[in-house]
Structure 1
Amino acid sequence: MTPAPWDPLPFFVYGTLRPGEANHDLFLRGRIRTEEPGRLTGAVLYDGPGYPYAVEEPGAEEISGELVTALPQTYAPLLAELDRLEEYAPGDPRNLYERVARDVVRADGTPVRAWVYLAAPAVAA
């Protein structure tokens, strides 16, 4: 089942939103309930012009990152702010990223459905 674009899934972050990176405290501090290691399989990570981006690639190993669960009361505004940060708007051909639901593997091996910002087709090309 495909989640609705506003469903409160956790976020998988792999770049500037990770702990110690530029956007972590700016966007996530005080707004998250949990943060734990996670892995996205079937994708590769590239260094972009000032920011990293992930591209799905069948057979690729994995990308390490963090699985972030927002506090319920902060979810809607955080989702909107992350969409703006990642220059994502549903259906906009100018998107830098696309927000998609993917299975992310927790450290204990269990999968969890999460929002992931992947490179939009024009960027991935």
Structure 2
Amino acid sequence: MVPAPAPAGRGVGDLGLATPISTVGCTGTPIVLYSSAITPGAYAADVQQALDDHPGASSLRTDQACSSLTPSSDGNPIYAVFRAYPSTGAACAAEGTGASFRLLESGSPDTSTFSC
């Protein structure tokens, strides 16, 4: 099931939340992945809850982002809530060792991770 079209002036897949969906470049930007919403009927509620839990975070739809992110789950899009950092060192300093770290790049989901 594909989510409803984006509200006017917003990106494809936007859920109509107060925080618009993000568009990212695949330039190797390090991110911390906080949450992944995988249930079509609950996308908006799940993403909003994760955004509330992580003020200043952003969201994206992985099948419309970089190949370093898993594009779907059981054939459905995945919405990810994340925070971008200027470097892997900055991500590690801010988030510590228990976080899920990824690079926004044109790599494989299996090889586009990093640890602190």
TM-score by length of 1: 0.30
TM-score by length of 2: 0.31
**Normalized per residue, which structure has more strand?**
1
